[in-house]
Homo-oligomer: A and B are copies of this chain.
């Protein structure tokens, strides 16, 4: 079970909010890799991951893929197709088998007017995500890749609820940060030599979360939040 604080930090919707929205959702199941929405599409609707994961990112004209985020249950996407009249910014694909809830614009707006608590929850989710996005933007401007990689690993660990070992390839880390696999490889080597992480095949283990955090904090260029 996910704690309340974790909801707030990830932008996921609270169980209270889900209780209000769940009856209104159309449910659909997706197979691994199946396309949910593509960048540029105009069909409006809020999507909420209910089971499994959804990979959100973009393929460039040259085929290069950059991952934006892997959404877990109760995380939503596509708000701007409803509240602004903007097309999808990202391609969303099922990441493993997954169950996704969908609600259209008019239905959602009506629900908000009727139950403004829903709006407060969505406002929380959106403002948290904007917050995170702005922080990452600052990191990109200020921090060297190795520190940003360390932060990604730390975040991964926090979101997973403090698990020690994580299954992900260096390629995935690279596509998330928008850097080459090679620089990820050499950064991980360095972090591993510092004893901050342990590398494996498609795996990273973080033996001591606190030590990793303090290493990151020493390299932080601006005042820490939280």
A interface vs B, CB < 8 Å? 8, 39-40, 58-62, 64, 66, 68, 79-80, 82-87, 89-90, 109, 112-113, 116-117, 119-120, 122-124, 126-131, 133-138, 140-142, 178, 220-226
| Copies of the polypeptide in the assembly | 2
Q: Is B89 within 8 A of A127, CB to CB?
A: no
Q: How far is the CA of A137 from the CA of B89 in the complex (A)?
A: 11
Q: How far is the CA of A118 from the CA of B44 in the complex (A)?
A: 21
Q: How far is the CA of A136 from the CA of B225 in the complex (A)?
A: 23
A126 / chain B contacts, CB cutoff of 8 Å? 83, 123, 126-127, 130
A133 / chain B contacts, CB cutoff of 8 Å? 130, 133-134, 137
A112 / chain B contacts, CB cutoff of 8 Å? 116, 119-120
Q: Is B66 within 8 A of A127, CB to CB?
A: no
Shortest distance between the CB of A44 and any CB in chain B (Å) = 11
Q: Is A84 within 8 A of B124, CB to CB?
A: yes
In-complex Cβ contact of A134 among B68, B138, B222 (8 A)? B68
Q: Give me 14 other A-B pairs in contact (C-beta within 8 A), A84-B128, A140-B140 excluded.
A: A39-B222, A62-B221, A64-B221, A68-B137, A89-B131, A113-B116, A116-B119, A119-B123, A123-B123, A123-B126, A130-B130, A133-B137, A137-B137, A142-B178
Q: How far is the CA of A40 from the CA of B131 in the complex (A)?
A: 12
Q: How far is the CA of A221 from the CA of B137 in the complex (A)?
A: 19
Q: Is B138 within 8 A of A79, CB to CB?
A: no
In-complex Cβ contact of A58 among B80, B83, B87, B222 (8 A)? B222
Q: Is B127 within 8 A of A80, CB to CB?
A: yes
Q: Is B225 within 8 A of A128, CB to CB?
A: no
Q: Is A223 within 8 A of B84, CB to CB?
A: no
Shortest distance between the CB of A146 and any CB in chain B (Å) = 17
